[in-house]
Amino acid sequence: MNGVSTDESTAYTAPEDSPFRPRDDARDQARQFVLPLVVRIERAAPPARTDALETAARAVLVLLGDERSLDDGEWARAVRDWQDARIRKVVRRARGAEWRRAEALPGITVTGRTAEVRVFPPVPVDDWPKDLARLQVSGTDLDDPEPPAEAGSDLPVLWMSPEVGMSAGKAMAQAGHGAQLAWWELSDADRAAWREAGFPLAVRTASPGHWSELVRGGLPLVRDAGFTEIAPGSCTVVADHPALR
């Protein structure tokens, strides 16, 4: 696979009234925001690919459920502005002093088995904090030392398309899109239960036959806007949360 890369894609679903559906309206005329995610990749100990994807997805959920993102919280306005337009996400990498500078900025670090991902409140596309803007977006491959274990039937699974090849950074952003669409579809009670459990989830690549069923199954589906790497309208992720089946 390619190295970690910027993803300036947009997730959208089919309904005409979805705030994620691309169209030429006031949402596109407003100032655009992006959700920055930074993955820690030290030369001597890079994270496993699947763990990085799962940790990025959980990081998005942690930010969405954080009290600072809700009601009158200090991040709430930025989160509302971001979600009311295109839910862009950008994944960059950091190591050493770069990571320490990123950790000093307001945000939340989420840790997986091997991965660390820090998520930040949304920022304008054209006005990044300098310590994030200078971070690299390519140059490191991520692999799984062993094939990931089969996900349990009671676990939320973000199913990645077997038909679309993506870099690690692109796939992390897409997993985050899928987690966010699932969050939007859940009831308040199901959101609270997922949050209290620590947002358990798995990211797996579906078999071709299973993928075909998932795409037609009515679950939240990410279609990429095609800004980077893949063709516009490509189906990339299906969010299979038990509460949505």
73: which 2 tokens?
A: 């919280």
Positive or negative torsion for Cα 89, 221, 85, 232:
positive
For the segment 85-90, the average pLDDT, to the nearest whole number, is 86
When the pLDDT of each residue in the chain is averaged and rounded to a whole number, the result is 88
pTM summary value:
0.89
**Cα separation, 188 vs 179, whole angstroms:** 15
Mean pLDDT of 103-115: 98
Largest CA distance in the chain: 47
Question: What whole-number percentage of the chain has pLDDT above 70?
Answer: 85
If you write DSSP's letter for every residue of 165-195 in order, what string do you get? ---HHHHHHHHHHHHHHHHHHS-HHHHHHHH
| Distant-in-sequence, close-in-space partners of 71: CB < 8 Å, separation ≥ 6 | none
Residue 84: per-residue pLDDT: 84
pLDDT score of 245:
87
93 burial class (0-12, 13-18, 19+ CB within 10 angstroms)? Answer: buried
